[in-house]
Amino acid sequence: MSAQIDKNVLDKANTWLKGNYDDETKNTVRDLIKNNPEELTESFYRDLEFGTGGLRGIMGVGSNRMNKYTVGSATQGFSNYLKINFPELEQIKVAIGYDSRNNSKYFAQIAADVFSANGIKVFLFENLKPTPELSFAIREFKCQGGIVLTASHNPKEYNGYKAYWDDGGQVISPHDKNVISEVNKIENIDEVNFNGNKDLIEIISDYFDNIYIERIKALSLSPEIIKEQNDFKIVYTPIHGTGVKLVPQALKEFGFTNVHIVREQAEEFGNGDFPTVKSPNPEENAALALAIKQAKDIGAELVMATDPDADRVGIAVRDGIDFVLLNGNQAATLLINYLLGKWQENGKLSGKEFIVKTIVTSELLVDIANKFSVKHYDVLTGFKYIADMIKSLEGKETFIGGGEESYGYLVGDFVRDKDAVISCAMIAEAAAWAKHNGIEMLDLLKEIYVEHGFYKEKLVSVVRKGKSGAEEIQKIMSGFRSNPPSLMGGSKIICIKDYQSGKSLDTITNISSPIDLPKSNVLQFFTEDGSKVSVRPSGTEPKIKFYFGLKGKLDDISDYGKVNDKLQDKIDAIVDELGL
């Protein structure tokens, strides 16, 4: 059977058989060589890449899988880099969190052992926790770094490892690439020290939840309204993940007394098999199906669902007797509109406040910020860049809130990653505030469209796998750069932003100006009618993403359906124009 296996794959598998790996691992490798050459190839044809966000992959034995040894190597490399960066410190400290995925707790313990074996103090959560609480812990314990074991909303076969820096945000340049370099220097498993030092591992029990929740509670802008609307009926699901305890606790502390949990998806310690869903992704209708059914049955007014590590939230709002799932841009619109309106109403705006969004997120947030004379900043895709913007303006300007179209939002600056616990509490407060003012959330969104314009967004992903697929994606990007369209959807393109070249071209005057952001392989086309189309190859998957943000005029909310259909037709026409 081994004769059918690529020599490089077999050689790498044999290094695991000869190396300092445990017997169970070696027996599994032998079985793969003998009985499953296809799986052996997938497991060993490359090393699992430590990318700019860390590791993510299928769990199993092999160099291309999430396991004790790939996690250990990543942690050894990160340990080495921390010691290079903080040589003056008597004690380097890290925090470690993990979600409900299978093996997350086990991998977290492996990481704790490796860090502590390298003389690094570890704050290890005793139980599964939301990713944002890990970010908060890094700041509270004054750590130099941290990690969380999670694969976000990937299928159950996956796990992952995200690395954080001393500000509580995920590592960015230059640290991201430098950590990768240190990880890649480890060529032999014997270079990884797995002999943990228990004296350097401090277990963080659930007491820390209360510290985190108290900080969240202080964000509330309408406590009197919640007292009046305390029976506002909410259905929440953690989708078998880490939000199971803290989201209901945050809602209770805010004053909501009528919160209903989807019990089939709310195990105390989560369930890494995600038995009720195909994918634990709050962007998908199917993941909220049980919650929406329960909401209909009991007459609830708001549905919220968090992903396994509780950093993203999907919401559904009433549409007559039914519910409609809002996209990430719409939820961000309602949240930012509420925050800025209440800050103004409460007399908190001084002219030094700001919001942040990613470049592919709706331009409607800019319109709302301008209405309240609040600054806005655009950053590259990825919440780590929002965190970095908060860090760069610390002590100079005040961060109110921010978000990205992929269902991640943050309010306040004591966490430096997207936070679904905070977001659930603040979105529920916004909904209660809307009810107090005699309007439902969907109608409020429509009124915002009447005031600022109807922004219709859609994401289209084109999958191109393998080496040939990567080449095709590059060819698509090159084609847009060398021969950009002059029209989209019948509207003239007036500006082209190329984040790879760092230039913004005014196509009317043919004058270029610099883009003050790091280089990234992204193109954006802005049209005369206020629409935006962004093109971006995915950094983690074999696909190229097209973000459509079209703008139309809505004169009255009664015309919502008609204008919505018209804009959808326009998106479909552009998709056809682009040959997607």
Q: Which two tokens stand for residue 130?
A: 């939301």
Q: Which of 100, 152, 531, 534 is catalytic?
A: 152
Per-residue pLDDT tens over the stretch 134-158? 999 999 999 999 999 999 988 999 9
Q: Is residue 2 predicted with pLDDT exceeding 50? A: no
Cβ atoms of 304 and 326 within 8 Å: the answer is no
Banded pLDDT at 5 (limits 50, 70, 90): confident
Give the position of tokens 């989807």. 262
What is d(CA 509, CA 512) in angstroms, rounded to the nearest whole number? 9
Helix (H, G, I), strand (E, B) or coil at 468: helix
Do strands 145-149 and 93-98 pair parallel, antiparallel, or not at all (unpaired)? parallel
What are the pLDDT digits (tens) for 164-180? 999 999 999 999 999 99
Whole-angstrom distance, CA of residue 135 vs CA of residue 127: 15
The Cβ-side half-sphere exposure at 20, using a 13 Å CA radius, reads 9
Reported as a single tens digit per residue, the pLDDT across 534-560 is 999 986 667 999 999 999 999 999 999
Least reliable range by pLDDT among 153-157, 249-253, 271-275, 310-314? 153-157
78, pLDDT greater than 80? yes
* CA angle (8, 9, 14) in 5-degree steps: 95
* CATH for 46-205 (3.80.30.20, 3.40.120.10, 3.50.50.60, 3.30.1360.70): 3.40.120.10
Is 404 in a helix, a strand, or coil? strand
Encoded amino acid at 264, one letter: E
- Those residues whose C-beta lies under 8 Å from the C-beta of residue 552, and which sit 6 or more positions away, are 453, 454, 456, 529, 563, 566, 567, 570
Known active-site residue 491: no
Please give the CATH topology (third level) of the domain spanning 454-577.
Answer: TATA-Binding Protein (3.30.310)
Compute the mean pLDDT over every residue in the chain, rounded to the nearest whole number.
Answer: 95
Q: pLDDT, tens digit, for every residue of 293-311? A: 999 999 999 999 999 999 9
Equal CATH topology for 209-451 and 454-577: no
Task: Report residue 175: phi and psi, to 5°.
Answer: -65, -35
Do 494 and 526 meet the contact criterion of CB atoms below 8 Å apart? Answer: yes
Q: Are 537 and 548 in contact (CB under 8 A)?
A: no
**Strands ordered across the beta sheet of 302-306:** 259-261, 234-237, 302-306, 313-319, 322-325
Flag whether pLDDT at 195 surpasses 90.
yes
The CA-CA-CA angle for residues 521, 527, 530, to 5°, reads 110
Sign for the CA dihedral angle at 376, 380, 383, 384 comes to negative
Cα 572 → chain centroid: 27
**Cα separation of 358 and 366, whole Å?**
11
- Interval 390-413: pLDDT, tens: 999 999 999 999 999 999 999 999
**Residue 465: predicted pLDDT:** 81
**Residue-level length of the chain:** 580
Residues 329-359: tens digit of each pLDDT: 999 999 999 999 999 999 999 999 999 999 9
Candidates 218, 229, 431; CA nearest to 331 is 431
Pull the structure tokens for residue 95.
């925090």
Evaluate the omega torsion of the peptide bond into residue 174 and state whether it is cis, within 30 degrees of 0.
yes
Report the CATH fold assignment for 209-451: Alpha-D-Glucose-1,6-Bisphosphate; Chain A, domain 3 (3.40.120)
Q: Are strands 375-379 and 353-358 parallel, antiparallel or unpaired?
A: parallel
- Closest Cα partner for 122 from 104, 147, 102? 147
- DSSP line for 480-502: HHHS--SEETTEEEEEEEETTTT
What's 67's DSSP letter?
A: S
The Cα diameter of the chain in Å comes to 75
Look at residue 495 and give its three-state secondary structure.
strand
What percent of the chain is modeled with pLDDT above 90?
93
Residue 52 has a pLDDT of 74
Token couple for 358: 């990613």
- Domain map (residue ranges) of the chain: 46-205, 209-451, 454-577
With the C-alpha atoms ordered 253, 257, 262, 264, is the resulting torsion angle positive or negative? Answer: positive
